[in-house]
Structure 1
Amino acid sequence: MLKAAAVFAILALVLGVLGFGGLAGFAWGLAKILFWVAVIIAVVLAVLGFTIYKKVT
C-alpha cells in the first residue's frame, strides 16, 4: 500500500509539472489516503502483535 501511495505521489508531481492540476490534486489526495490507511493498518497490527501474541504463546 505504501508503494501505491508513492506511485500516486510521483504521478501527482509529474502531472503538476505538466499542467494537469485537477488530476494532480486527485492523485495527491489518493496518495495521502493510501499512506494514512497503511499507517493505521501497521499500528493496528503492531498493537495486536504485542498483545495477542503474548496471550497465544
Structure 2
Amino acid sequence: MLKWALIFAVVALIAAALGFGGIAGAAAGIAKFLFFIFVVGFIVFAVLGFMAGRKITGR
C-alpha cells in the first residue's frame, strides 16, 4: 500500500509540474489517503505483534 501511495505522490508531482491542477490534487488526495491507511495498519499490526510476542514468552 505504501508503494501505491508513493506512485500517486509522484503522479501528483508530475501533473502539478505540467500544469494539470485537478489531476494533481486528486492524485495527492489519493496518496494521502493511502498513506494514512498504511500508517493505521502498521500501528495495528505492530501492537498485535507486540501482544502476541508477550503471550509466547509469558512475561
TM-score (structure 1 length as normaliser): 0.91
**What is the percentage of aligned positions where both structures have the same residue?**
53
Moved over 2 A (4+): 52-57
Residue 47 (structure 2) pairs with residue 47 (structure 1): yes
Residue 34 (structure 2) pairs with residue 34 (structure 1): yes
Pairwise CA distance, 1:52: 2.8
Give the total of aligned pairs.
57
CA RMSD of aligned residues (A): 1.1
**Structure 2: unaligned runs, 5 residues or longer:** none
Residue 31 (structure 2) pairs with residue 3 (structure 1): no
For 1:56 and 1:27, the matched residues in 2 are separated by 43
Pairwise CA distance, 1:56: 4.6
